[in-house]
Structure 1
Amino acid sequence: MRILYVEDDAMNRRVVRDMFASLGMDLDEAPDVATGLRMVDAEHFDAIVTDLMMPEADGLDLIGAIRRRADLGASVPILVLTADTSDVARENCLRGGANDVMTKPVGLATLVERLGRAIAASDSATFS
């Protein structure tokens, strides 16, 4: 399983990378939206986790760009991991095309459960 994590903060990337490593999984990482989009163009990912607020372009920009891509845009699960706990941010993310929104700090069990749920929902939508 390939997961892409788009996050501008190196410490946050390390924390999530360590969480995945504890499960024996590798995590592909991008420090910004532009890099994340280049990686999506070059690789297949089973899911994408993105920060919401980043300089230059934010998580909503990333989600919108991916959702507009006919080849994978509708099917790849995208989860937002953000420090913004407001209902408005959550609604904007979901309306913008995110499958789920989690707040930082996120625990390993929550991350795995929500990611698994989004991937399972995507798989059943793809094959039904």
Structure 2
Amino acid sequence: MQQLRFEQAWDKTIAEVDRKRITRIFKESTLQKDEPIQLTRLSQAKNHKGELLVTVLVHNTTQQTFSFYNKQLRYIENKAEMATHIFTSPAISIEPLVSMPWTFIFPVESIKTPPTLLNGHLEIIL
């Protein structure tokens, strides 16, 4: 059975209102049995450096730990690729049958087209 977990640093610092929102979204998530790693969008924003921050709920529905080390992700809006980046640090690992929130930071140079930050989603390029 899928369990919601927070990475240690998140667990210590997350606001209660955000924890409740993420817990609600986790409970409402409908996971596909044939998709081993699924991403549920939580938010997207730009920081003061112009980097794109995409926060998702990562669902590992497999029996094996999944690592994002050296994985390429792309941020899509309206079927158009806005940013692509290979993530190497920190190496996020998701345990089997665990869902965990995480923020992926796309550096400015990985942004191909300025995003609108509306209705975007992440895809893992396998």
**Please, what TM-score do these two structures have when normalized by structure 2?**
0.25
Question: How does the TM-score come out when normalised to structure 1?
Answer: 0.25
Larger RCO, structure (CA 8 Å, separation 6 or more): 2
Structure with the larger strand share = 2
- Which has the greater radius of gyration? 2
